[in-house]
Structure 1
Amino acid sequence: MKSFKKLTKFLAAGLLLISGAVFAQTPDQTTAPDALIKMVVSDVMASVKADPDIQKGNIPKIVELVEKKIVPYTDMRRTTEMAMGPNWKKATPEQQNQLVMEFKNLLIRTYSGALSQLRDQTVQFKALRAAPDDKEVVVKTVVLGRGDPVPLDYRLEKTDKGWKVYDMNIMGVWLIEAYRNQFSNQISQNGIDGLVKFLQDRNKQLASAKPAN
């Protein structure tokens, strides 16, 4: 089983590519899933490179960027629910809300390292293979830069508010599957409250860590 640290590193590398600054064209309910990903990715590549503070790992600026430009295009509740698996229904509404919040904070905190390392990468977009009436699709991309090309796929669902990202595949590892093992182990040992505490403690560690340049 992959370590928690390695999983968050993979996750950060992937999530940085669905962040962005001000869009030249703002995605809405009618934006196609592949167009959504391409618009956001294209902006983040330019925006992060132009922001020295983000490159230095400025946490407040990264958090602001994520909250404004990533969260609206993701479905964190579904991501958390699927990562929890059968344990989701065992959690109280209050616990569910706590888990969604802490998991979101964990993903946001991972940006501090990933965004600061964005330099000369480019992204190759694959043709979307989907029917017009599909409610779920996978948008495939390849990250090109230092080292070998990195396949990065986004799983999106169609909602009444437009397409939302809820899962990613980074080098053959689906985010939800990876975290499901981590969450299941924590719950089996310490219960759902134990998982909440685990995420809270991890977030505190990430918050207090100095950015790596």
Structure 2
Amino acid sequence: MVGRKQFDVDEALRRAMHVFWRWGYSEASIDRLTEGTGLGRSSLYATFGDKSTLFRKSLQRYVQTYHPLYDQALSGPHSNPSAVVAAYLQVTLNRIADPTVPDGCLLTVSATQFPALDPESQTMVRAVIDGVRAMLEQALRAAGVDDQEAAELALCTLATNKSLAVLSRAGFSNEDLTTVAAAAARYPRVTTSTP
């Protein structure tokens, strides 16, 4: 039928997400995107718009796929801050160990290429990172940590998450990554607030 798309748009977006995830925005050329999605240039542009728009749609898909897993892990209840950190980082370890997706993290690789992104994409990347940080802070407060300690520990946990993604791309073993996550989960020695 004329004008009807002859491909699965959702699957093409998933594949585009993997191209950005593997190569980062700068190296995700249109040639790599067409090869990765199986679409011609005209179909790619007609369906998703320009590269920056496709990147933002890919990042949104990534968030929709993985953030519910973090949300579920952090929903608790957790008896202490170490349990919060361990639950959060376990989701990261599970994603990294998944052989069906690229190494690392799309959000992390996007943050490392921040200057290459257009302003709208920069705003989106930062908003997603800030959202994760807020999610961690909320879970830590629910585990009895005061506001200042929750803010500091959330930032450190977020940094550990990003470090795990970078180390995985550098070929560190799952055993090494698990060691990092376990050490980070042991670190919180904050005194929980009493009701």
Bin of the TM-score, shorter chain as denominator length: under 0.3
Task: Name the one with the larger helix percent.
Answer: 2
Larger Rg: 2
TM-score, length basis structure 2 = 0.25
Output the TM-score relative to the length of structure 1: 0.24
